[in-house]
Amino acid sequence: MSGPSLMDSLFQRTLEDLIKGLRQQLIGEQAFISKALEEIRKEIKSTDLSTKSTALLKLCYLSNLHFHDMSFAAFHALEVLSSPRFSHKKIAYHAISLSFHDSTPVLLLITNHLRKDLTSTNEFEVSLSLQCLSRIANVDLARDLTPEVFTLLSSNKLYVRKRAVAVVLRVFEKYPDSVRVCFKRLVENLENYDPQILSAVVGVFSELACKDPRSYLPLAPEFYKILVDSKSNWISIKVLKIFAKLAPLEPRLANRVVEPICDLMRKTGAKSLLFECVRTVVTSFSEYESAVRLAVGKIREFMVDEDPNLKYLGLHALSIVASKHLWVVSENKEVVIKSLSDPDPNIKIESLRLVMAMVSEHNVAEISKVLVNYALKSDPLFCNEILGSILSTCSRNVYEIIVDFDWYVSLLGEMSRIPHCQMGEEIENQLVDIGLRVKDVRLELVRVARDLLIDPALLGNSFLHRVLSAAAWVSGEYVEFSRNPLELMEALLQPRTSLLPPSIMAIYIQSAFKVLVFCLHTCFVRGGSTAGVSASASYESFDDLSVENGAGSTVAHGQTCTSAPITNESIVNLLKLVELALSPLLGSHDVEVQERARNLLGFVDLIKLEALNSSGQEENDSEQKGVEATKIIRLVHDAFSKELGPVSLSAQGKVPVPDGLTLNENLGDLETICSDIELPSSNTFSFGYPFEEKDVSSFSNLQIKEDSGQSNESTSLLAEHRKRHGLYYLPSGKSEVISNDYPPANDPALQGDNNDTASDLVKLTAESLVPKRKPNHSKPRPVVVKLDEADEKPVAVKHPESRDDSLSGAVRDILFGSEDILPTSSRSNLPSSNRKGKEKQHMITQVESKENVVGDGNSSSRRRKDHSHGKERRHRKKNAEERNETDRKEKESSSNHPRRQKSRQRAEEPLKVPPQTSVIPDFLL
Amino acid sequence: MGIRFILMVNKQGQTRLAQYYEWLTLEERRALEGEIVRKCLARNEQQCSFVEHRNYKIVYRRYASLFFLVGVDNDENELAILEFIHLLVETMDRHFGNVCELDIMFHLEKAHFMLEEMVMSGCIVETSKANILTPVQLLEKTS
């Protein structure tokens, strides 16, 4: 054995030596520590307990401050624990509470040590072991040591008792059945007048009440007494926390407590207690107006205080009030807005939250504008905080508060140009989402997208790439709204696009494809004399436009929609541009980019012939080929002009499962299938249906041709008619908007005074918080496509933890079940029948669980049967056992419970919910 | 669980004491302490002492070269925790006499012991300096 020699232990380094050495080492900290660890590993194997414990202490130090694993010493710690010397024990407990956890293998070996120390006569040993238990207790430890803890709960040594009270929290949490044993004694401690005990026990109850307040309602009288009598601020704060949880459950209790709390708020000099009163009132007593007014007064004092802590807390409290009483925020808006420029980022964020709480559909434009100006001036972090909250507020509930989408879209564009903006992803999502959902805004959207695309400077900012990808997609998808597709094309193919990541590059190329097809289509199919037969159905807006301008001829028609007319010449240039820009990309390393570039170039090759021919001379022999190219263009164009819709989150669920496909089947044998064949099942899976199911058919080219042929014919006739008799057509609202020169989204009047933003915002919010309609809503809110119920994100149903459940269940059993626990005299008028019943049921199941100790398999079915009989039995047996109930419980739990009890308890759970209203007695009040 | 952890960190960001009331692995601890130190030590005197972190709050206070950081649940009373930190410092001050970083370094176990007197299972159980120090001094005498 490589154990240490006597010399080693004689000259062992103490912890102090280690620390000094660590401070003076010259060989580097890591090297020094690993050397020390080596020593420790040797020393800890020593048979001499002092050597061992010193080694352990050093190890604790290194683990606590230098993150070195000490799990290897778990067993050694147990050895030191068995030492008769207190100082060794102390070190061992220290090590154990630092390093043990639920999966420490030797955890169970500690039970007997703990039991021995818990029953020791030395109060410090008891205290150490309680302390340790509070850190490491798991189910087994909690179960096995419950009797000892129970005894200590009424120890006559205060020092021990308060610790026993505190440890109960962990024991209850790990082993809810211990509630049946210990709860009564815990409640008894509530009546203790010693502040030490009281502060511990109130602390425990405030934690317990957090998890399940309802169970502790019957204890309200005790808490009330403590609240009124308490001299210690620590205790008062904890009791207030309990009442904050209890009051919303029982209005009579709230009625009773609100006055004392207000008294406390007026009288106390301690800021912490004052703040707790304020917080209690604003969270749980918000319907008591006078109390809220008092609290708001205090909040205001907090907010204008010099101390940043108080200021922060004031704002924080205000944001709690804001959810229920918005008037409070508008009353204090000056302070809130001033805090937007506080030096402390945390305070700024709090006030930002409050400003966002004030936003409504009437003032969203103004507030956003001012905030964006703030964002321009702030540091990057806060800037993005502002942008993020604007984005999330505006998009809430499918853009609920947005009326003027043109404005919002241009705001998005403006936000992405802010230098610190890092919200690219969110802006990208919203741009695309709005494009899909709101038809009327697409024109403005394309304009914004164009402005973004065309600016070569933006390509250099990697945070903006996501925004640009949205802009590219939008301008490709809705290119028919573009005023100048050629310009778009140049923007999409500009040399600086090489700065984009490949995934976005691919989107650019795809969009360029769409734009190119659109240009060709305009030029040859609609604009060209040969193919004037069928104006595509999807271009009604253009037809409208031309009607509006009174231009009859198709050539002029082309000119109105594009500032630069698409001529054959420009097409040729365009094709050249495409070839020039994309040829290098054929060698791209990214497959997506390469493939899309190849697609586009292939397409260009196909139609180049016609373009060149028709630009050169209009020969008859080329016409044959030209017609073919036109056909191709029309085909591709129709494929692109199918509108994409937003996809509902539950869309996948709507896809019918094909016959013969069982989704629930285990896929285990898939591996064997894969090994010999190449996934034969792949064609049983359908491609994801986009939104509308009829779209599926359009994947086949043939059908497209037929479809569009038919529909184009009728719509083109209609369009012809409209052109000829334009006068008799009512001007549609849409065209009216289009023909206007779009007013810039931001009112130029507001543009001037950017500097005095704070006062500006105050004024604006002041105006807009008065509920009046904004006069300049010239346009009605456009339709926003919502997918029925699907847009609501599936709310994860929160299942309360079963353990907590069983804990509160146990607590309820005790509190509602056996009234002799309630020490108050005023429990006379309780309707006791159902409580008795519950108690009985509880006893029955306990008896039964004893029966079930052997035989695990059929226990559950038997249990269920028992329950069905339970009711009858319950009525028969009455109060005989009630007397010795507690004794029985004690006995029972000191014998080792089988683990199964927990599951038993869960099974019984649904029966246990107490009928609230009838049980909550009047005595509270 | 009201208090989740108590840290003492010096100006350089080195941990001088770490007490956790829920189990974290060494790696989680290292990450957590790193994040917290980065967040809190960058703040100045004019800024408030509360920082939101993950799903809880950190209440901290600086005494000379040492930062006392306490991680608490969101509904814990921040000002009370500040008072608690102050109480802790006063208690140590009374025991060590003008406490400094070195005292805590060289008496780490004792500092832990004091904390254990004050906090159990994340609840503050003792707030009287005398009550906290009696056992500490008693044990010092016997050993």
Interface of A with B in 61-90 (CB under 8 A): 61, 63-65, 67-69, 86-87, 90
Chain B residues in contact with A104 by the CB 8 A cut-off are none
How many structural domains does chain B have?
A: 1
- pLDDT greater than 80 at residue A62: yes
Nearest residue of A to residue B40, measured between CA atoms: A346
CA distances from A760 to A359, A383, A671 (A): 15, 19, 67
Place of tokens 């908007």: A737
- pLDDT greater than 50 at residue A380: yes
Give the pLDDT confidence of A384-436 residue by residue, as tens digits.
999 999 999 998 888 888 888 999 999 999 998 888 888 889 999 999 999 88
Asked if residue A603 is part of any domain, the answer here is yes
| A505 within 8 A of A497, measured Cβ to Cβ | yes
* Interface membership of A309 toward B (CB under 8 Å): yes
Last residue of a domain, one of A586, A607, A641: A641
pLDDT band at residue A844 under the 50/70/90 scheme: very low
Nearest residue of B to residue A162, measured between CA atoms: B125
Interface of A with B in 90-149 (CB under 8 A): 90-91, 94, 101-102, 124, 127, 130-131, 134-135
Nearest-CA distance A210 → chain B (Å): 9
Asked if residue B62 is part of any domain, the answer here is yes
Asked if residue A509 is part of any domain, the answer here is yes
Mutate to test the interface with B, among A162, A272, A319, A352 (most CBs of B within 10 A): A272
Q: How many Cβ pairs within 8 Å bridge chains A and B?
A: 137
pLDDT band at residue A899 under the 50/70/90 scheme: very low
- pLDDT greater than 60 at residue A790: no
> Given this model, what pLDDT does residue A499 score?
87
Note down the domain range covering A596: 502-527+567-616+623-641
> Given this model, what pLDDT does residue A532 score?
35
Give the pLDDT confidence of A596-607 residue by residue, as tens digits.
999 899 888 888
Mutate to test the interface with A, among B4, B29, B40, B77 (most CBs of A within 10 A): B77
pLDDT band at residue A174 under the 50/70/90 scheme: very high
As a whole number, mean pLDDT of residues A289-315 equals 92
> Given this model, what pLDDT does residue A778 score?
54
Least-confidence region, from A387-391, A447-451, A588-592? A588-592
Please report, rounded to a whole number, the percentage of residues in chain B having pLDDT higher than 70: 99
Chain B residues in contact with A207 by the CB 8 A cut-off are 1-2, 121-123
Asked if residue A208 is part of any domain, the answer here is yes
Tell me the CA end-to-end span of chain A in Å, nearest whole number.
73
Nearest CB to A309 within list B48, B121, B128 = B48
Q: Rounded distance, CA A482 to CA A468, Å?
A: 17
* Interface membership of A13 toward B (CB under 8 Å): no
Write the DSSP assignment of A301-345 as a string of letters.
Answer: HHHTSSSHHHHHHHHHHHHHHHTT-HHHHHHTHHHHHHHTT-S-H
pLDDT band at residue A29 under the 50/70/90 scheme: confident
Nearest CB to A199 within list B79, B122, B125 = B125
A641 vs A58, residue with greater confidence: A58
Give the pLDDT confidence of A306-324 residue by residue, as tens digits.
899 999 999 999 999 988 8
> Given this model, what pLDDT does residue A567 score?
75
Chain A residues in contact with B50 by the CB 8 A cut-off are 309, 312-313, 346
How many structural domains does chain A have?
A: 2
> Given this model, what pLDDT does residue A324 score?
86
A738 vs A225, residue with greater confidence: A225
> Given this model, what pLDDT does residue A358 score?
85
**∠ CA B60-B58-B119 to the nearest 5 degrees?**
80
> Given this model, what pLDDT does residue B132 score?
92
> Given this model, what pLDDT does residue A714 score?
54
Chain A residues in contact with B18 by the CB 8 A cut-off are 64-65
Task: Give backbone dihedrals phi and psi of B57, rounded to 5 degrees, phi first.
Answer: -120, 155
Give the pLDDT confidence of B74-126 residue by residue, as tens digits.
889 999 999 999 999 999 999 999 899 999 999 999 999 999 999 998 999 88
As a whole number, mean pLDDT of residues A546-560 equals 37
Pairing assessment for the beta strands B123-124 and B119-120 based on DSSP bridges? antiparallel
As a whole number, mean pLDDT of residues A431-450 equals 90
> Given this model, what pLDDT does residue B36 score?
93
Quote the tokens at residue A219: 């204890």
Quote the tokens at residue B16: 């001088």
- pLDDT greater than 80 at residue A729: no
A237 vs A893, residue with greater confidence: A237
Chain A residues in contact with B128 by the CB 8 A cut-off are 196
> Given this model, what pLDDT does residue A114 score?
94
Alpha-carbon torsion (A241, A246, A251, A255), positive or negative: negative
Q: Rounded distance, CA A347 to CA A318, Å?
A: 12
With an 8 Å Cβ cutoff, are A131 and B51 in contact? Answer: no
Amino acid letter, A922: D
Note down the domain range covering B99: 3-137
Amino acid letter, A639: A
Largest CA distance in chain B: 46
Mutate to test the interface with A, among B120, B126, B138 (most CBs of A within 10 A): B120
* Interface membership of A629 toward B (CB under 8 Å): no
* Interface membership of B74 toward A (CB under 8 Å): no
Give the pLDDT confidence of A187-242 residue by residue, as tens digits.
999 888 788 899 999 999 999 998 889 999 999 999 999 999 888 899 999 999 99
> Given this model, what pLDDT does residue A712 score?
52
Asked if residue B142 is part of any domain, the answer here is no
With an 8 Å Cβ cutoff, are A200 and B48 in contact? Answer: no
A643 vs B39, residue with greater confidence: B39
| Phi-psi map region of A550: left, alpha, beta (phi>0 left; psi -120 to 50 alpha) | left
| B129 within 8 A of B91, measured Cβ to Cβ | yes
Interface of A with B in 238-257 (CB under 8 A): 241
Nearest-CA distance A834 → chain B (Å): 34
Tell me the CA end-to-end span of chain B in Å, nearest whole number.
33
Quote the tokens at residue A768: 């807009």
> Given this model, what pLDDT does residue A750 score?
37
Q: Which residues contact A319 (CB under 8 A, 6 or more apart)?
A: A350, A353, A354, A357
Write the DSSP assignment of chain B as a string of letters.
Answer: --EEEEEEEETTS-EEEEEESS---HHHHHHHHHHHHHHHHT--TTS-SEEEETTEEEEEEEETTEEEEEEE-TTS-HHHHHHHHHHHHHHHHHHHSS--HHHHHHTHHHHHHHHHHHEETTEE----HHHHHHHHHHHHHH-
Please report, rounded to a whole number, the percentage of residues in chain A having pLDDT higher than 90: 32
Nearest-CA distance A90 → chain B (Å): 9
Give the pLDDT confidence of A627-637 residue by residue, as tens digits.
777 788 888 88
Mutate to test the interface with A, among B123, B127, B140 (most CBs of A within 10 A): B123
> Given this model, what pLDDT does residue A115 score?
94
With an 8 Å Cβ cutoff, are A309 and B142 in contact? Answer: no
Burial class (CB in 10 A: 0-12, 13-18, 19+), A861: exposed
Predicted interface score ipTM higher than 0.90: yes
Give the pLDDT confidence of A662-692 residue by residue, as tens digits.
766 666 666 666 665 544 444 434 444 444 4
- pLDDT greater than 90 at residue A23: no
As a whole number, mean pLDDT of residues A568-587 equals 86
> Given this model, what pLDDT does residue A625 score?
57
Nearest-CA distance A411 → chain B (Å): 30
pLDDT band at residue A533 under the 50/70/90 scheme: very low
Average per-residue pLDDT for chain A: 74
CATH number of the structural domain spanning residue B84: 3.30.450.60
As a whole number, mean pLDDT of residues A733-737 equals 38
Asked if residue B109 is part of any domain, the answer here is yes
* Interface membership of B56 toward A (CB under 8 Å): no
> Given this model, what pLDDT does residue A762 score?
59
Nearest-CA distance B81 → chain A (Å): 9
With an 8 Å Cβ cutoff, are B77 and A275 in contact? Answer: yes
> Given this model, what pLDDT does residue A808 score?
73
Quote the tokens at residue A262: 């207000």
With an 8 Å Cβ cutoff, are B47 and A241 in contact? Answer: no
Output DSSP code: residue A644: P
Asked if residue B72 is part of any domain, the answer here is yes
Q: Rounded distance, CA A309 to CA B46, Å?
A: 9
CA distances from A773 to A146, A306, A330, A413, B61 (A): 66, 39, 18, 26, 49
Asked if residue B143 is part of any domain, the answer here is no
Give the pLDDT confidence of A791-803 residue by residue, as tens digits.
444 444 444 444 5
- pLDDT greater than 70 at residue A329: yes
| A273 within 8 A of A311, measured Cβ to Cβ | no
